[in-house]
Amino acid sequence: MRILLFTGKGGVGKTTTSAATALRLADRGLKTLLISTDGAHSLSDALACRLSGEPIEVVAGLDAVQIDTQRRFELAWGDVQRYLLELLAQGGLDPITAEELTVLPGIEEILALLAVRDFAASERWDALVVDCAATAETLRLLALPEALGWYLHRVFPVHRTLARGMRPLAAMLGRGAAIPPDAAFDAIVRLSDELAAVRTVLADPSITSVRLVLTPEAVVTAEARRTFTALALYGYRVDEVVANRVFPSEAAAGTGSDWQRAWVAAQAEQLAAIEDCFAGVPVRRASYRPGEPVGPHELRAVAADLYDELPGVDPIAAGATDPLLTVVAAPRRSPEQPEEYLLTLSLPLAVKGDVEASRSGDDLVVTVAGHRRVLTLPSVLRRCTVGSGSVEEGRLMLRFVPDPEHWRSP
Ligand SMILES: Nc1ncnc2c1ncn2[C@@H]1O[C@H](COP(=O)(O)OP(=O)(O)OP(=O)(O)O)[C@@H](O)[C@H]1O
Ligand SMILES: [Mg+2]
């Protein structure tokens, strides 16, 4: 089973290229599900068919679904919401404002991820192709399972213990609703466990990879570069870059106008830069079609562009699966010195000034150009202090030195 997540800047062609890829997979005999997490129904428009919250067959071998976050919201968050609504009503808030306040920010995205994981777990499909939202939302989405899981694990048990202790007192004072009922806590625990499962599936490079879609324009490429780094920071692997809406090379030949030739030359320059800067990651190209690629026939033409004719490339082949984060024992500086450890985090395209790393308790906080990840350190590193660090060739390397305080023999 493989999961392909398509993301990129707004309007670059994520829906089009993800649908084209899914069609190609289905045509090759893989049972494929194309999933849209976008509430704007543009996948329905691209496929020229009506989609719903349940997978329906679009063509032989290809099902598609538009995730119904509203229904999933009720299932996952209904108990918590009912409690919060009661609480806010007690505080005298009008029901409409209260309802707005009880929607956890990002919950729709979380539910979309949970749905992807449920589809994966059902084992009904060989491949899931996910048409994600534009990069900023997708990054927020992909960072959520770990960040929220961290919060729910660390902070939440404290709330729960406190709440249990206070319930009899609150009952005496007639303020029962101020203490969350167990159903609300259970819903949160369930969510936390499910998020951990989502993370396991999505961060496994043998299952999931990200396809970064762009158009050959300087502004789009600059954003794609930052996304590439941020995805690695959060532990997701980009295994292909898709350059969409590439002007056909005939347009460069003498027949075009000056305007056309200038655009073709500008794109050629960007394409060369893209091949260069995403070194090691294959770049696929889809040409600018003479019309909007809508419907299976047109989308198959985009797929033919991207993946060549059969038996050309395998659109699903997984790229390298070496881990993005490794911890190894570092060579001793001298036989008397204790063993040190080297943590390496792959951050492609990042340079020294972009990266900050600091220790906070048992966690390592890594920030890259506005994106932050809180990594829980493996136990062997928790008993160490952070020594020297460097950023080289797109990798953050931190040396950890055993802290004599923690390593005294028991
Ligand atoms: N190769 C192409 N040739 C011609 N038109 C294209 C091509 N790829 C996409 N388009 C058109 O460009 C528009 C945007 O494409 P699409 O909806 O796939 O982008 P998107 O990245 O999914 O956008 P959004 O960020 O809004 O979800 C659509 O009208 C689509 O038909
Ligand atoms: Mg789209």
Domain map (residue ranges) of the chain = 2-70+109-145+200-307, 325-407
Residue 253, SS3 per DSSP: coil
What is the C-alpha to C-alpha distance for residues 297 and 314, in angstroms, rounded to an integer?
20
The reported pLDDT for the residue numbered 410 is 44
Neighbours of 318 (CB within 10 A): 15
Ligand with minimal distance to 245 CA: 1
The answer to whether 333 and 355 are in contact (CB under 8 A) is no
Helical residues (DSSP H) of 36-155, grouped into ranges: 42-47, 69-90, 95-101, 107-121, 135-154
Assign 173 a pLDDT band (cuts: 50, 70, 90). Answer: low
**Pocket of ligand 1 contains residue 301 by CB under 6 Å:** no
Q: Please, what CATH class does the domain formed by 325-407 belong to?
A: mainly beta
Residue to substitute in 292, 306, 307 for testing ligand 1 pocket (most ligand atoms within 8 angstroms of CB): 292
Q: Let me know the angle formed at the C-alpha of 126 by 286 and 128, rounded to the nearest 5 degrees.
A: 55
Relative orientation angle of helices 182-202 and 107-121, to the nearest 10 degrees: 60
CA distance 195 to 107: 12
The pair of three-digit structure tokens given for residue 356, joined into one six-digit string? 């900050």
Tokens, residue 336: 């008397």
- Single-letter residue type at 78: G
Nearest to 345 by CA among 360, 327, 361: 327
CB-ligand 1 contact for 285 (6 Å cutoff): no
**Which atom of ligand 1 sits closest to the CA of residue 131?**
22
- Residue 261 phi, psi dihedral angles, 5° rounding: -65, -35
Contact 216, 190 (CB under 8 A): no
Q: What is the pLDDT of residues 114-153, one digit of tens each?
A: 889 899 999 999 999 999 877 777 777 677 767 776 666 6
Q: What is the pLDDT of residues 91-122, one digit of tens each?
A: 677 777 767 766 666 667 777 888 898 999 99
For the four alpha carbons of 225, 282, 286 and 125, in that order, the dihedral sign comes to: negative
Give the span between the Cα atoms of 186 and 207, in whole angstroms: 30
Cα of 26 from ligand 2 centre, angstroms? 20
DSSP result, 39-67: TT-HHHHHHTS---SS-EEEETTEEEEE-
Averaged pLDDT for residues 349-365:
87
Q: Say whether pLDDT at 50 is over 80.
A: yes
Question: In residues, how long is the chain?
Answer: 410
* Architecture label for domain 2-70+109-145+200-307: 3-Layer(aba) Sandwich (3.40)
Q: How confident is the model at residue 336 (pLDDT cuts 50, 70, 90)?
A: confident
- Note whether 140 and 227 are within 8 A (CB): no
Of 168-172, 209-213, 236-240, 274-278, give the lowest mean pLDDT range: 168-172
**pTM of structure:** 0.82
What is the β-pairing status of strands 56-59 and 355-360? Answer: unpaired
Ligand 1: residue whose CA is nearest its atom 30: 292
Whether 9 is in the pocket of ligand 1, judged by its Cβ within 6 Å, is: no
Distance CA 374, CA 379 (A): 15
